[in-house]
Structure 1
Amino acid sequence: MSIYEHFRKEERTFIDHVLEWKQQVEYSYTSKLTDFLDPREQYIVRSLVGGNDEINVSFFGGHDTSERKRALLVPAYVEPMEDDFSLLLLEVKYASKFHTITHPQLLGALMGIGLKRQKYGDIIISNDAVQLVVSKEVASFVEMNVTSVGRAKVAIESIPFSTIHTVKEVWQEGRGTITSFRLDVVLAEIFHLSRQKVQMLIKGGAVKVNHKIVEQPSFECGEDDLFSVRGYGRCKMLSIEGQTKRDKWKITYGLQKN
């Protein structure tokens, strides 16, 4: 059985990268630090590298609760430190009395300077504080080139990680059964909606899987996928627990409502 059969077709390129990283560490005895990975990509790395006697893999995104993290693959005898992940915390300074900055606005400004999303970690908006975690190698470029967000003029500066704002996410754990791992089937079960309603949301661009809009109801879901449904909130597939006697799949999920 090919290793690709355990994952989605569109993930093959990423799988090839992970296998290359693994081989690089195995044969050269050097560490490999990745860009920021979403939860599903972290799952793939753990699946392909975890449990290897020759290589250890660790993840860090600035805080224990970070969603987007960099992976560090190291020879088994190396003990990684937080500094090895090469992260910086930036704060966005702006006139909060006159302006409000939203997550989509800041992400749009960050993407507008030509860097790929993988160079940015979590965006944290807590009250009037706006912070973001970035790869150290791009921090100065971000500071120089992001001068406005929406209508707000901004200044970006590096601050210590000791000042990071953590937004505690409360996930309500639930269990259910599904007939397949189609996106419309999974979301209908988790949010207790009809498949027809979910299909309308998906085709209308209201659903994201791992931060990317997915408009195909037949999209196959898997463990550690993170879903966002406009107007309903976020949820994630925590685990697949096997099948029932009637050949339905038992799943455990986390639900975070708006």
Structure 2
Amino acid sequence: MKQLFQHFSKDEKEFVEQMIDLCQQVDTTYSYRLTRFLNPRQNQIAASIAAHFQLVYFSSQEELETEFSRGIIAPDYYQLDVAHFELAVVEVLYPRKYHEVTHSQILGTLLHRLGIKREYVGDILVGEDQTFVVLDRKFLPLLQSEVAKIGRTPVSWKEREWEVVSKLKKQEAQQKQILVSSLRLDKLISVAFQLSRTSASKLIEARQVKLDYQPIAQAGHEVDIGQLISVRGYGRVCINELVGYSKQGKLKLEIEVIRK
């Protein structure tokens, strides 16, 4: 089992242990196990650990196009039933003409009013005309009966078919090329969001930055191609590709930016 941990960072050790435990439960009980909501990196880890145990892994992402997903770890003879993901897609209904409800307001209300952990709430999708929440189905009755306001805005909740999520207009990413002297985290944030290096460093030191969904506090950390940087209050940037080098020897990168 030790060799399994060599493939993951120290920060991922606790999650890896949780997935190993789920796999061992499947081996012992011959029945499937359902994960909490996972970010894309955790989803990859869960799938690789399941494969190590020669078990099958299904992600709800294959059925429902969301960033956060739930996984099913099961014996190889298991036949997928999407109901086993135990997901509910719920529309937040409120008078849009007079009110605006934000992602953070919805999340804060769900966590505090329902008293649930973040891991039981998946994506919160805020569109121009509709807003949806994906969450663990067992909390749906509580949500509908207990949450009648978000802030001062009156709301109601209506379960919808999963297909509505795919029709919702997603936030558009901006593709662009940048020049940087290195792949230092602070430099990338500075150029991507047009901030000073000092401002970028302060955000990192204040733990407002995540790299592949993990908090990071080292401004000089070297970022790898393909990694995702999230900056609270600004948005996210993915380092897609090293295109080449400038005449001055700087790195020419293709990045994708989604602003807050």
**TM-score, length-scaled by structure 1:** 0.78
> Could you say what secondary structure the match of 1:77 adopts?
coil
1:16, distance to aligned residue in structure 2 (A): 0.6
What is the one-letter code of the residue matched to 2:126?
I
1:39-72 Cα offsets, whole Å, 9 max, x none, are: 221122133224x473111111585431000011
Residue correspondences, number: 250
> Could you say what secondary structure the match of 1:6 adopts?
coil
Alignment check: 8 A CA contact 2:178 2:253 kept: yes
1:197-255 Cα offsets, whole Å, 9 max, x none, are: 42122234543445676544366867875432256431236699xxxxxxxx9998643
Change (3 A) 1:62 1:129: farther
Q: Provide the residue aligned with 1:46 in structure 2.
A: 47
> Could you say what secondary structure the match of 1:44 adopts?
helix
> Could you say what secondary structure the match of 1:217 adopts?
coil
1:150, distance to aligned residue in structure 2 (A): 1.8
Alignment check: 8 A CA contact 1:56 1:76 kept: yes
Q: Provide the residue aligned with 1:200 in structure 2.
A: 202
C-alpha distance in structure 1 between counterparts of 2:154 and 2:129, whole Å: 15
Alignment check: 8 A CA contact 1:38 1:67 kept: yes
Q: Provide the residue aligned with 1:120 in structure 2.
A: 121
**TM-score, length-scaled by structure 2:** 0.77
C-alpha distance in structure 2 between counterparts of 1:54 and 1:41, whole Å: 18
1:66-85 Cα offsets, whole Å, 9 max, x none, are: 10000111112223132221
C-alpha distance in structure 1 between counterparts of 2:72 and 2:10, whole Å: 25
Alignment check: 8 A CA contact 2:23 2:53 kept: no
C-alpha distance in structure 2 between counterparts of 1:161 and 1:24, whole Å: 29
1:129, distance to aligned residue in structure 2 (A): 1.4
Change (3 A) 1:17 1:206: closer
Change (3 A) 1:210 1:92: farther
C-alpha distance in structure 2 between counterparts of 1:71 and 1:238, whole Å: 26
Change (3 A) 1:49 1:177: farther
C-alpha distance in structure 2 between counterparts of 1:251 and 1:124, whole Å: 29
Alignment check: 8 A CA contact 1:176 1:252 kept: no
Equivalences for residues 26-65 of structure 1 within 5 A: 26-50=27-51, 52=52, 54-61=54-61, 64-65=64-65
Structure whose residues are more often strand by fraction: 1
Gaps of 5+ in 2: 243-250
What is the one-letter code of the residue matched to 2:131?
V
1:183, distance to aligned residue in structure 2 (A): 4.0
Equivalences for residues 1-258 of structure 1 within 5 A: 2-50=3-51, 52=52, 54-61=54-61, 64-112=64-112, 113-164=114-165, 165-171=167-173, 172=175, 183-184=185-186, 187=189, 195-209=197-211, 214-217=216-219, 226-230=228-232, 232-236=234-238, 254-257=256-259
C-alpha distance in structure 2 between counterparts of 1:178 and 1:67, whole Å: 31
Change (3 A) 1:3 1:202: same
Alignment check: 8 A CA contact 1:62 1:161 kept: no
Change (3 A) 1:25 1:219: farther
C-alpha distance in structure 1 between counterparts of 2:98 and 2:228, whole Å: 34
